[in-house]
C-alpha cells in the first residue's frame, strides 16, 4: 500500500510539472494578410478613430501563472504575424482545464484485517484565456493581399 501511495504522489507531481511548463496556445479564425511590424491595441470600439473591418477572432491560452502583460505581448505578436493593423481586446478569463489530487497514505494494520486511511487534497488547474478581434484598417492602400491559408 505504501508503494501505491508513493506512486500516486509521484504521478501527481509529474502531472503538475507538465501542466505548469505548458506553452501558449493560439486559436484563430479569419483572414490572413502580409505580416505587419506594428499593431495598435484598443479596449473599446469607440477608441478606434479610423475606418476598419474585423478580419478575425483570436484566443490565446496560457497557464494560470502567466502575467497579463506577457499575454498581451503574445497577442500582439500573433496579430502582427497574421497581418493585423490593430487588436480590439474582448476579454480575459480563467478556464478550469483539470485537477490534481494528492493522496497521503497512513496505512495501519489492526488484527487480521489491514486497512488504509489518509487524506486527499484536490487542486483545480486553470488556464488564463485572452481574446481579441483582429482589425484591418480600410483606409490603407490595398496592396496587402490575402495570403492563402
- The number of domains in the chain is 1
The set of cell numbers assigned to 48 is: 478606434
Is pTM, for the whole model, over 0.75? no
Q: Listing from the earlier edge strand, what are the strands of the sheet with 118-137?
A: 25-30, 52-63, 118-137, 86-105, 40-42
Closest C-alpha to 13, from 98, 123, 96, 100: 100
In a domain? residue 146? no
Residue 26's domain comprises 2-137
pLDDT at 115: 63
User: Computed over its alpha carbons, how large is the radius of gyration of the chain?
Assistant: 24
Cβ 34 vs Cβ 144: under 8 Å: yes
The terminus-to-terminus CA distance of the chain in angstroms comes to 55
pLDDT at 107: 64
Q: What string of pLDDT tens digits covers the 149 residues of the chain?
A: 454 554 455 444 444 444 444 577 888 999 999 999 999 999 999 999 999 999 999 998 877 667 788 888 999 999 999 999 999 999 876 766 566 677 666 666 666 666 666 677 776 666 788 899 999 999 876 545 455 45
- Where on the phi/psi map is residue 134: left (φ > 0), alpha (ψ -120 to 50), or beta? beta
pLDDT at 136: 96
Amino acid at each position: 500500500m505504501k508503494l501505491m501511495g508513493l506512486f500516486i504522489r509521484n504521478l501527481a507531481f509529474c502531472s503538475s510539472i507538465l501542466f505548469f511548463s505548458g506553452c501558449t496556445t493560439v486559436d484563430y479564425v479569419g483572414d490572413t494578410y502580409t505580416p505587419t511590424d506594428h499593431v495598435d491595441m484598443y479596449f473599446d470600439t469607440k477608441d478606434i478613430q479610423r475606418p476598419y473591418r474585423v478580419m478575425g477572432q483570436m484566443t490565446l491560452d496560457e497557464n494560470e501563472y502567466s502575467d497579463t502583460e506577457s499575454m498581451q505581448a503574445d497577442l500582439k505578436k500573433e496579430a502582427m504575424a497574421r497581418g493585423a493593423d490593430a487588436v480590439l481586446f474582448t476579454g480575459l478569463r480563467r478556464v478550469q482545464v483539470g485537477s490534481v489530487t494528492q493522496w497521503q497514505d497512513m496505512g495501519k494494520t489492526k488484527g487480521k484485517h489491514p486497512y488504509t486511511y489518509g487524506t486527499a487534497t484536490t487542486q483545480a488547474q486553470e488556464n488564463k484565456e485572452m481574446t481579441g478581434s483582429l482589425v484591418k484598417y480600410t483606409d490603407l492602400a490595398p496592396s496587402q493581399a490575402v495570403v492563402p491559408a
